[in-house]
Amino acid sequence: MTNLLTVLIPSYKSRRRIYYHVKNISKNIKIIIIENSQDKVLKEELEKKNKNVKVYLQDNIGYGRAINYGAKFVKTKFFFVINPDTKIFKGTLRNLVIAANKIKNFGAMSPKLFRKKEKKVKELIRLEKTLNGGAMLFKTKIFKRIKGFDENIFLYYEDNDYFTKCRINKLKLYTVLN
């Protein structure tokens, strides 16, 4: 998955949660963190201990703009955006990439949001009108082609605007259910 996937994490003062993700994501996957709080200590510690992690410090530029900024550094076929306060199951990234490779063009994919004690379902992929914006996989060239998120939206609803752009461009949204 080294050449297929980059994980991008937009953050604002989420140090403990960022460390959790870096610890739990394979060292073979590049991680880009856009830290909107200018936390130089976080950058120094993470980059020193993790060769697969690059932290970019920004003034608080907002969620969508942070993702757009980070996407400029993505060199892989896909990138996965995850909010710091979202947890993913082991195998989730692999399952998303497998599903993404089966669909030629799509706007975005999200893993299914599980509540505690919820059982997994049998179907694999479901077409959606919107997705859980806290964890989404993008095909890099499509994200860049439709110019990502609207940078005029600082926080909240930028994912809904992105989904509208997908519909306009006839790009479908999917939830991966396993």
- pLDDT digit string, tens, across residues 62-115: 889 999 999 999 999 999 999 999 988 888 999 999 999 999 899 999 998 765
Cβ(128)–Cβ(174) under 8 Å?
yes
| pTM: predicted TM-score of the whole model, two decimal places | 0.91
With 0-12 / 13-18 / 19 or more C-beta atoms within 10 angstroms meaning exposed / middle / buried, residue 87 is middle
For the chain, the C-alpha Rg in angstroms (whole number) is 15
**What are the tokens at 14?**
């989420």
H or E element: which one contains 68?
helix 63-71
Apex CA 93: angle with CA 91 and CA 98, to 5°?
95
CA distance 52 to 79: 14
Question: pLDDT (tens digit, 9 = 90+) per residue, 16-57?
Answer: 999 999 999 999 999 999 999 999 999 999 999 999 999 999
Cβ(42)–Cβ(109) under 8 Å?
no
Q: Residue written as tokens 């690059």?
A: 54
